[in-house]
Amino acid sequence: MSDTENEAASYDSLITVVPRHVAIIMDGNNRWAKREGVPGPSGHRAGVEAVRGMLRACQHHGVEVLTLFAFSSENWGRPLPEVRALLALLSRYLRNEVRELHKDGICMRFIGQRERFSARLQKLMRQAEHLTKNNTGATVVIAVDYGGRWDVAQAAGKLALQVREGKLQPEDITAEMIDEQVALSDLPRPDLCIRTGGDARISNFMLWHFAYTELYFTNTLWPDFSELEFARALADYGRRERRYGLREPDGLVAGGDLDA
């Protein structure tokens, strides 16, 4: 067994609680490419390889839901060649990987606005969702043209429509109602958000969902974020107390669930 495998095994032994839902902000592809002296798109392609590793790691540890921040609403403001490269890479990923995910029993979903993507890319998303919709092994969510503020705004818009139609009074609107209208309302909220690349912010990602999510920031660039790095994040998560604003005599371990 190699040193890396030995270290991974040692971290596995420290993982006492596994989060049901992990969200990842995959940052650092461009810096990785610059460091390696290769074109920017090569960094994004290396990032896809890291996604494959995360899928294996999540299956290994029993993570039920993995949400990946692939393309934010703000990413449209990047240089046009980079945007085109990102969208081409997403299209290629969907053409090449979805059937393998289906064989592994993984359900694939997308959140965000799709209208600005090409008709072909939108079709690939629909096909991926349709093919895998009945799978129960795990769920992979790809956030594309997604922003947390947009998510809350569209939820508020749905409730406002009910008010206009006379089905709901403004004073009756609750946080629980908004919770039912945001993306992924049928899935457990993220227990752990990992951001790679060294920045310590969530960049408009799942703002509503992260109310009590544990945050883990690492300097490791996304293409270098290995299964070992993931095991370290899980071990760190397992050492935390999640109180949800409450206070218990002995505290709550990271796996504590208010809905349990």
Q: What is the pLDDT of residue 259?
A: 47
137 contacts 104 by C-beta, under 8 angstroms: yes
User: Which of 236, 220, 239 lies closest to 53 in space, CA to CA?
Assistant: 220
Annotated catalytic, 75? yes
- The parts of the chain modelled with pLDDT lower than 50 are 258-260
Q: Architecture of domain 18-100+119-135+218-243 in CATH?
A: 3-Layer(aba) Sandwich (3.40)
Alpha carbon distance 142, 109 (integer Å): 6
For the chain, what is the mean pLDDT?
A: 91
Ramachandran assignment for 141, one of left (phi > 0), alpha (psi -120 to 50 degrees), beta (any other): beta
Give residue for tokens 């960049």. 203
Across 179-209, b (16+ Cβ under 10 Å) vs e yields eebbbbeebebbbbbbbbbeeeebebbbbbb
**Angle at CA of residue 95, ends 81 and 76, nearest 5°:** 30
**Angle at CA of residue 70, ends 69 and 75, nearest 5°:** 100
Name the catalytic one among 3, 12, 27, 236. 27
Residue type, 60: H
Annotated catalytic, 30? no
Q: What is the pLDDT of residue 219?
A: 98
Name the catalytic one among 3, 29, 30, 75. 75
Q: Provide the β-strand partners of residue 61.
A: none
> What's the start-to-end Cα distance of the chain, in Å?
39
CATH 3.40.1180.10 domain range(s) in the chain: 18-100+119-135+218-243
Q: What is the pLDDT of residue 247?
A: 63
